[in-house]
Amino acid sequence: MTAFLSRRRSALTPRLCDLGATFAPFGEDSSLVESFSAKTREARQSPSAPPLLLCDLSPLARIGVKGQGTESLLRASALVAPKATNESVVQKDGSLCVRLAEGEVLLLSALASKGVRDFVPLHKNLESASSASNKRRQVFPVAYQDSLCWLALAGDQASDLLATLCAVDLRDGIFAPGALAQTSLARLSALVLRDPARRKGVPLFHLLADSASALYLWDCLLDAMSVPELDGSVCGRQDLLRFLATPPSRKRQRPL
């Protein structure tokens, strides 16, 4: 299946096609890059597996909820929200709940999601709570599915790469798993989330920014990771999941 036949298309689709991406159907009306052509892999990867991977996860489900009734809505949907702002927690199904403000959360589906039945109870509850007929509704949806693109950056040197684009200290030991920075990346407003599920092993960062600037951010990241010491590469979701399951061992060298 080509990406252009699906109704919903990631803002990065043209660039991904240029790089030889192989798309697979995702959900009812979308497509997702599962891997890249061998040619691209050979051209961009060193003989050993690359230590730094960038992946477009924009087709995966995400939703925002805000309003005074957010807490009760989450409880009713069997979701657990973090207590403090700028923190996140993993849900039973592997999805993430991120608190953006006191009455505002962002939910990100699990990396391995199949694109159907994501946040079904929440959607149902939200629909009934936010229906126009409900005159005293206390909770409202935020269209993060479309307004934010979603990129994942995985690898030991991810924080080194982000240090070339972002003024927040995102290194190990400082920016803990589960922490969120509402900051700017390459002068673009962005959410930088360190995956709370990966307390050990290779760090994984979720980067969410304005969909309209997705291509700009993608190019900035590719440019930043093109320096020899970072040795970065693009990947599909399957590649990313495989990499996270068995990251290649590569000792990190201290700069001297």
Partner 1 sequence: MKRIDHSVDNNQRDKSKKWGLWIDRKRELSFRFQGRRYKGFEGDSLASALAASGVSVFSRSFKYRRKRGIFSLNAADTNTLVRVDAMPNLFAERVSLREGLSAQAQQLLRFNPLFVLNFLSRFLPAGFYYRSFFRPRGAWMLWERVFRRVAGIGVLSQRKVAHHALPRYDKAYGFFELVVVGGGLAGMTAATKAARLGVRTLLVEREQRLGGDGFEEEFAPSPSQNTLSQKIPAQKIPAGLPAALTVMTGAQASGLFADRFLAVVEEKKRRLHKIRAQACIVATGAFELPAVFRNNDLPGVMLASAARRLKRRYGVVVGRKPVIFTANAFGYRLALDFLALGIKPVVLDPRPVPHIPDALSIRDHHIVCANGVALIEAVGKGRIEGVKAKIAGSEHVFPCDSLCIAVGFAPAAELLVQGGCELGYDATHHCQRLQSLSEGLHAVGAVAGLFDPAKVRHHAEKTAETVARALKSRRTQKTEARNKARNKPQNKLQNKLQNTLPAAALCDDGAQNWHDPVFSHPRGKEFVDLDEDLQISDLHDSVRDGYDSMQLVKRYTTLGMGVSQGRHSNINGLRIVSRLTEEDPARLGLSTVRPPAAPESFGMLAGRSFQPLRLSPMHRRHTQAGAKTMVAGAWLRPAYYPPSQQPSAKEVRSIVEREALAVRNSVGMIDVTTLGGIDVYGEDAAEFVDRLYCWSYKKQLVGRARYLLMTDEAGVVADDGVCCRFAPDHLYLTTTTGGSDAVYRALLFWRSQWNLKVEVSNSTAAFAGVNVAGPFAREMLEGLCEGVDLSREAFPYMGVREGRVAGCRARLLRVGFVGELGYEIHVPFAEGEALWDALMQHGKRWQMIPFGVEAQRLLRLEKGHIIIGQDTDGLTLPHEAEMGWAVSRKKPFFIGKRPIEIQVERGITKRLTGFTLPARHRDDLPKECNLVMHEGAIDGRVTSIAYSPTLRKIVGLAYASRSRKTLDIQLDSGRSLQATIVPLPFYDPEGARQKI
CA distance 82 to 45: 38
**Please, are residues 198 and 207 in contact by the beta-carbon 8 Å criterion?**
no
Smallest distance, partner 1 to C-beta of residue 100, A:
11
| 151 versus 165: smaller Cβ distance to partner 1 | 165
Q: Does residue number 136 form part of the binding site for partner 1 (CB under 8 A)?
A: yes
The structure tokens listed for 39 are 């040619």
Residue 71 to residue 80: CA distance in whole angstroms: 9
| Contact (Cβ atoms closer than 8 angstroms) between residue 80 and residue 95 | no
Which H/E stretch holds residue 238?
Answer: helix 237-245
Contacts of partner 1 in 234-253 (CB under 8 A): none
Q: Smallest distance, Å, CB 46 to partner 1?
A: 19
In degrees rounded to 5, what are phi and psi of residue 11?
-65, -20
The region of 41-49, 110-118, 183-191, 194-202 touching partner 1 under the rule CB under 8 A is 183-191
Q: Are 197 and 90 in contact (CB under 8 A)?
A: yes
8-16, 34-42, 105-113, 114-122 -> range binding partner 1 (CB under 8 A): 8-16
Measured distance between the N- and C-terminal CA atoms of the chain, rounded to whole angstroms: 48
Shortest CB 212 distance to partner 1, Å: 4
Strands 232-235 and 52-56: parallel
Interface with partner 1 includes 47 (CB under 8 A)? Answer: no
Question: Is 67 an interacting residue with respect to partner 1 (CB under 8 A)?
Answer: yes
* Nearest partner of 8 among 33, 34, 26, judged by Cα: 26
By CB under 8 A, the residues from 198 to 237 that bind partner 1 are: 210-213, 215-216, 220, 223-224, 227
- The half-sphere exposure of 219 on its side-chain side, counting CA atoms within 13 A, is 9
**Could you give the string, one character per residue 78-117, with x where binding to partner 1 holds by CB under 8 A and - elsewhere?**
-----xxx----------------xx--------------
**Nearest CB to partner 1, comparing residues 155 and 243:** 155
Query: Which residues contribute to the site for partner 1 (CB under 8 A)?
Result: 6-11, 14, 30, 58-59, 64, 66-67, 83-85, 102-103, 132, 135-137, 140, 142-148, 160, 163-167, 169, 171, 174, 186-188, 210-213, 215-216, 220, 223-224, 227, 254-256
